[in-house]
Structure 1
Amino acid sequence: MPEKTYILLAEDEAALGQIVKESLETRDFIVDLVDDGERALRLFQEKNYEALVLDVMMPKKDGFTLVKEIRQEDDSIPIIFLTAKSQTNDVVEGFSIGGNDYLKKPFSMEELIVRIHNLVQRKQLQKSSDIITVGGYLFNFPKQTLQFEDDELVLLTHREAHLLFHLIKNKNQVLDRSLILNKLWNSDDFFAARSMDVFISKLRKKLAKDESIQIINVRGYGYKLTY
């Protein structure tokens, strides 16, 4: 059987959203459908999608605002905008904030499917260079997975993956606490800092099978990864 592609579809027109979802599901996609930007962001942060298909005009959080926030957490996931807007400046804005493609309503389902496949396949071509060795673990940043030797894959959340990626980039150096809080949490206040401490604890547990790996708390400055 063909491998299925897991995507998030955010569309506030109920009838259109259901039609697109059902059409994609007949073509080897698994689709989560939401009708507002806030729910889309929550699902994005909770799950591991291979592509996002987002309406621009949505309640609670529009597509452009949503993508600006998503790109702070994940700069590589393929994103396609769906919109009734046709002005050139809207198209330019969509690409400038991190969209990879743009379809104007009404659109052909076949065209949408081809565009999703092209973007996903383009990203998969980078797969071999995306795997980072961390002690005895293999860390796949785009797929947000960890694997210790021949064990099963461990899934990371978006923030866990990005936090680990930045720790690795600064291996044996202190990762500035305020810098990473502002980058991943958009704030360095008390509540964001406590949230980051929780994520660090989760990462320690997920890396615990290799005793050489340590995430050291450098009090007053940040964290340092050693292995």
Structure 2
Amino acid sequence: MDYTPKILVVDDEKDLREILQFNLSSEGFEIDVAASAEEALTMPLENYHLILLDVMMGGMSGYQMADFLRKEKDLDIPIIFLTAKGSENDLLTGFNVGGDDYIVKPFSIKEVVVRIKAILKRGIVTNKPSTLLEHHGLKVDVSRKSAFIDEEELKLTRKEFEILAMLMKNRGKFISRQEILDRIWSDDVIVTERNVDVNIARLRKKIKTYGTAIKGRSGYGYCFDN
């Protein structure tokens, strides 16, 4: 893989979280953890390539979180359920709420790694063409939240990536600063149009020669020029 998969582990067992974080990091994955579904839902979930999700947790269950992500958030991030319950009904419930795989506890780390790699590989193969935005050597993989120049991954912040993806999806169309603010920044964050300008300036530098494709026009906003 020419990107580092970002995985979120959601489990209320501290020991298990630490074991998974240590071992999966050793396998080359970038790992974040959350002790509950409620905590996980406060995180930028769209930035992850896969979620390892415990089923039985205090408060919101893994099934409820998955159902919420699919129906309310409309997120298609792959989900692998981790659970001590392995009956046929449990498996069917997991798949019905949008799970991609199901690992029954106790499990080996090797098994988890194999399942993760299989899901990620399947995602790469089955990606719809619309998830990949290209402009010569600049490529933006929307589903994987990654951007590349000549196959080298760019180190973009979440805001920079979202702005670039938005502009490339709307090539030739000017998007106002206010519209960018409304779509990229959450309602509870106090920001101004200057924040857009600053992020655009940084983005232009990071995408190097392709930065000239981002055009600014007074009174109109920004546009990714074809």
TM-score, structure 2 as length reference: 0.63
1:134 aligns with 2:132: no
Mean Cα deviation higher: 157-166 or 180-189:
180-189
Letter in 2 for 1:32: I
Residues 189/126 of structure 1: CA separation in 2 closer, same or farther (3 Å cut): same
Matching of residues 48-63 of structure 1 within 5 Å = 50-55=49-54
Per the alignment, do residues 123 and 158 of structure 1 end up closer, same or farther by CA in structure 2, a change over 3 Å counting? Answer: farther
Corresponding residue for 2:162?
162
Q: 1:18 to 1:175 in 2, by over 3 A?
A: same
Structure 1 residue 122, shift from structure 2 partner? 0.7
Show the counterpart of 2:173.
Answer: 173
**2:56 and 2:191 mapped to 1: Cα distance?**
31
Maintained 8 Å contact 2:214/2:222: no
Q: How do 1:141-156 and structure 2 match up within 5 A?
A: 141=142, 142=144, 144-147=146-149, 152-156=152-156
Is residue 205–residue 211 contact of structure 2 (8 Å, CA) maintained in 1? no
Task: Name the counterpart of 2:204.
Answer: 204
| 1:15 counterpart letter in structure 2 | D
SS of the aligned residue for 1:146 comes to strand
Does 2:226 align with 1:224?
Answer: no
- 1:173 Cα offset (Å): 0.9
Shift of 1:166: 1.7
Residue 108 of structure 1 corresponds to 107
**Deviation of 1:113 (Å):** 3.6
Q: 2:55–2:82: 8 Å Cα contact kept in structure 1?
A: yes
Cα deviation 1:7-57 (Å, max 9, x = unaligned): 33232311222333455467x353525243647865868xx7543313367
Q: Output the CA distance in 2 between the equivalents of 1:57 and 1:184.
A: 33
Q: Where do 5+ consecutive residues of structure 2 fail to align? A: none
Structure 2 residue matching 1:215: 3-state secondary structure: strand
> How far apart in 1 are the matches of 2:199 and 2:57?
30
Matches of 2:15 and 2:137 in 1, distance apart? 49
Q: Deviations over 1:94-133 (max 9, x none)?
A: 42xxx54455x63533654443222101122257955533
For 1:225 and 1:58, the matched residues in 2 are separated by: 45
Q: Secondary structure at the match of 2:222?
A: strand
Check whether the contact 1:7–1:29 (CA below 8 A) recurs between aligned residues: no
Question: Secondary structure of the equivalent of 1:205?
Answer: helix
Gaps of 5+ in 1: none
Query: Is the 2:5–2:29 Cα contact (8 Å) retained in structure 1?
Result: yes
Query: How far apart, in 1, do the equivalents of 2:156 and 2:6 lie?
Result: 16
Partners of 1:116 and 1:163 in 2: how far apart?
Answer: 29
Aligned-pair Cα RMSD in Å: 4.6
Check conservation: 2:138, 2:147, Cα contact below 8 A. Answer: no
What percentage of residue pairs aligned between the two structures are identical? Answer: 29
| Rounded Cα–Cα distance in structure 1 between residues aligned with 2:137 and 2:193 | 29
Match of 1:7 in 2: 7
